[in-house]
Structure 1
């Protein structure tokens, strides 16, 4: 009986406290262009082109698209989380670039869904007086 309890406790700790992937934070500035090496051919060797482009679009009511290079990050007001955070909080976030995200996808040989690789993605945008908008987004991957 003690063996079963020990095994149960081990499984509980192994799965109950398993480490989740850290959220990914991308700094967005509509006044600057984003640069990235965009993969055109997704087989070895990967062929890339350099792109410079960023834009924020409000499509339908309550949907905002952040476009970086050819990558679209979608924020839906009813589905995704939004909050305003102070600059001191943002300073603690580990920002990542789009190139780093694409390189991670490349390491996985483009076999995983991009939202499985990065389950929590946040776009951070400066608004005013040291405040930032924090949008939870979903990466809408173009093929």
Structure 2
């Protein structure tokens, strides 16, 4: 008998707290383990870490991690924040590489490189949602 995995979505609302990104990554690991998707954990955690760090460091206010699986073996990792501007590293236009001694500017291109698909939704006064999708065949390293 063939079983069909139902789609699922989890949203974790995070306060403006330096511990929030780590708590969100821990929740992501637990959720993927519960849904028996351990092969997605390294890539999903890397993507989430970069998107969460971007929201925490470059925006003011709360943010949220959203995990969604609409088909077996695939995951969409998304982070919403209150800043409506999509960062240059996540637009579809190529962003110039950061200078070699820059401390920032590599995270979002890394997300783009690790994901099968990625994108952004702008909600103007309600912020934006950056997302990346990965499947069982995508590996973070």
TM-score of the pair, normalised by structure 1: 0.25
Which protein has the larger Cα radius of gyration, Structure 1 or Structure 2? 1
Richer in strand (by share): 1
Richer in helix (by share): 2
